[in-house]
Amino acid sequence: MIDIHSHILPGIDDGAFTMEDAINMARVAVDEGITKIIATPHHQNRTFINKKQDILKRVTNLNHTLRNEDIFLEILPGQETRIYGELLEDFEKGDILTLNHTNYLFIELPSAYVPRYTEQILFDVQLKGLTPIIVHPERNAEFIEYPENLLTLVKKGTLTQVTTSSLTGHFGKKIQKFSMQLIEANLTHFIASDAHNISTRSFRIRESIAKLDKVFGSQVVLYFQENADLLIQNQAIYKQEPSQIRRKKFLGVF
């Protein structure tokens, strides 16, 4: 299994603080059945500046450490970049890192709103031959209130990734319900852990898969697993026609 979003690189953001923390996270990931993780440290979120070359060095170092510890987990390079006006300029300068050197690029939005220039930047990103992926849209207050705004972006080529802890209810029932609605409406294309540690923000891959299998069936689980595999190979992922979220009690689940 492949986890495309995690904060396992030590001492670089609000994820693993030490190498010991990273090793412990790696052991838990292996227990969850994860074989590859894309390390996606924060970049340009007011607190953390983690540029491409530094991330690549740290990924190499962590993989070396894991091999020495006989932990069979491969760390792949990535970055979780908060949207900002000069994003593409910095991409051209070599500061911005795509996911595993593919054409897929994580974009993080503020949690409370969607900046007015978001649609334009996502369009410009696609003009560069990149595919933007909005991370954890289910935790964005504006999307929760106005899901049609996310539908517009998805229809125009943007992908999205929902967090496993959202699916399992660890961010609350409202976010869990919205996450399920996003899946039902074909408004998300990946699930990933966004793991920061092994306590409050762990992987929860198995738990989320069990939830998806119960609510949607094994084909939806396979859909997300195959998309993660296609992503790291820089291949076109599977997409289904998105639709508007129906404002109703979701499948009687909650």
The average pLDDT across 201-225 equals: 97
- pLDDT above 50 (res 254): no
Q: Band of the pLDDT at 45, cuts 50, 70, 90?
A: low
What's the structural domain count of the chain?
Answer: 1
Tell whether 250 is covered by a domain: no
Residue 67: give the domain boundaries.
2-232
Q: Band of the pLDDT at 248, cuts 50, 70, 90?
A: low
* Contacts (Cβ under 8 Å, ≥6 apart) of 171: 139, 163, 165
pLDDT for 130: 98
As a whole number, the mean pLDDT across the chain is: 95
Tell whether 14 is covered by a domain: yes
pLDDT for 195: 98
pLDDT tens across 216-236, in order? 999 999 999 999 999 999 999
Tell me, yes or no, if the pTM score tops 0.75: yes
Of 110, 115, 154, nearest in space to 132 by CA = 154
Of 58, 63, 85, nearest in space to 74 by CA = 63
* Angle subtended at Cα 78 by Cα 33 and Cα 26, rounded to the nearest 5 degrees: 30
pLDDT for 66: 98
Tell whether 241 is covered by a domain: no
pLDDT tens across 48-98, in order? 999 999 999 999 999 999 999 999 999 999 999 999 999 999 999 999 999
Tell whether 211 is covered by a domain: yes
Alpha carbons 182 and 245: distance in angstroms, whole number:
7
Q: Band of the pLDDT at 246, cuts 50, 70, 90?
A: confident
pLDDT for 47: 84
Tell whether 119 is covered by a domain: yes
Tell whether 71 is covered by a domain: yes
CATH number at residue 122: 3.20.20.140
Token readout for 108 is 């993080």
Tell whether 162 is covered by a domain: yes
Tell whether 242 is covered by a domain: no
Sign of CA pseudo-dihedral 200, 205, 211, 215: positive
